[in-house]
């Protein structure tokens, strides 16, 4: 089979050149290529693409900045794919860490400077038999379902269509438009949905008020999906047990923000997918998608311009 010419930008790296070759492509100049692997941000993306470019592979899993930049509008005839799902293992592991740390009362244990066993006992919980709702049962969500299964967790999976998620531990799949039914009957919530106009402040004052005083809210998606002011108030009031956040709104979270000092908040600086893990995972993603492109099969993580992700 003849290799397919693939352009690589904004700069060439050995790892991605190898990934392109492994998928059946040959690194080529943009003018002679059929596809472009873009290992960069929207700034600097070509204003115009040659007519021969059929497909562009983007480096990021979240693409809201790409919509804002107008790139998709400028290239209506080109198929774009994101890296959604490529980083699922690392991010799902981070989500599990935040959830376990919260349920087991780890923040207060770390802060302790004396033996406070009797004080801690009432607050230490377990995931065993708990119901965890995963809002956004895509690549990360499905990987998290796998990680939660050994704990005996009952998972409510929420996705856009309501198409049943078939995986051990999933007891129910709920379409996004029925999410309001879920809040009163879940123990914990993990937010893993894409950031769109429809998902902004998906978790707000009304939703938090329906959760339990022991519930933990974990956000490893985008900060905009959770109303920060409402979350801070719920944490202060004891409306929920706590929050584990790898993403915030605003981001970076400013020094002095209340979330830094609240004992029931865990904030990590958007490092669930650190660069040294991200680059290798993206290379694997590139190889698989080029393999599919070369053989004429459906590409992974094709961006739906209408849906916004």
Active-site residues, by number, are 222, 251, 270
CA distance 273 to 225: 19
* SS3 state at 55: strand
**Are the C-beta atoms of residues 181 and 174 closer than 8 Å to each other?**
yes
Which candidate, 112, 38, 104, places its Cα nearest to that of 75?
A: 38
**Are the C-beta atoms of residues 135 and 191 closer than 8 Å to each other?**
yes
**Are the C-beta atoms of residues 29 and 57 closer than 8 Å to each other?**
no
Query: How distant, in Å, are the alpha carbons of 4, 25, 32, 238, 289 from that of 292?
Result: 11, 11, 20, 50, 5
Which candidate, 214, 73, 215, places its Cα nearest to that of 203?
A: 215
Element (H, E) at 188: strand 188-191
Q: Which two tokens stand for residue 250?
A: 């605003």
CA distance 23 to 57: 13
**Are the C-beta atoms of residues 61 and 81 closer than 8 Å to each other?**
no
Instruction: Tell me the torsion sign for CA atoms 198, 203, 207, 209.
Output: negative
Angle at 233 between CA 121 and CA 158, to 5 degrees: 80
For helices 275-295 and 14-22, give the axis angle rounded to 10 degrees.
30
Which candidate, 13, 140, 150, places its Cα nearest to that of 158?
A: 140
């Amino acid at each position: 089979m003849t290799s397919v010419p693939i352009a690589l930008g904004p700069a060439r790296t050995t790892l991605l050149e190898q990934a392109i070759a492994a998928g059946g492509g040959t690194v080529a100049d943009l003018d002679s290529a059929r596809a472009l692997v873009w290992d960069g941000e929207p700034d600097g993306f070509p204003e115009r693409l040659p007519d021969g470019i059929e497909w562009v592979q983007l480096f990021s899993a979240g693409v809201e900045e790409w919509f804002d930049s107008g790139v998709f509008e400028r290239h209506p005839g080109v198929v774009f794919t994101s890296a959604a799902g490529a980083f699922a293992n690392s991010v799902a592991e981070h989500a599990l860490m935040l959830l376990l740390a919260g349920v087991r009362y780890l923040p207060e244990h770390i802060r302790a400077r004396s033996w406070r066993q009797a004080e801690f006992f009432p607050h230490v919980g377990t995931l065993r038999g708990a119901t965890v709702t995963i809002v956004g049962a895509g690549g990360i969500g499905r990987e998290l379902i796998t990680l939660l299964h050994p704990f005996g967790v009952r998972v409510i999976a929420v996705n856009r269509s309501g198409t049943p998620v078939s995986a051990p531990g999933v007891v129910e799949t709920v379409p996004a438009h029925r999410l309001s039914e879920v809040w009163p009957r879940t123990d914990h919530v993990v937010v893993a949905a894409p950031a769109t106009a429809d998902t902004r402040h998906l978790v707000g004052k009304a939703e938090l008020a329906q959760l339990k005083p022991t519930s933990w809210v974990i956000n490893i998606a985008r900060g905009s999906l959770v109303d920060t002011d409402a979350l801070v108030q719920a944490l202060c009031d004891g409306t929920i047990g706590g929050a584990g956040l790898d993403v915030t709104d605003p981001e970076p979270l400013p020094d002095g923000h209340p979330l830094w000092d609240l004992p029931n908040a865990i904030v990590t600086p958007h490092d669930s997918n650190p660069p040294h893990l991200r680059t290798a995972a993206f290379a694997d993603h590139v190889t698989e998608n080029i393999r599919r492109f070369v053989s004429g099969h459906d590409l992974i993580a094709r961006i739906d311009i209408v849906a916004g992700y």
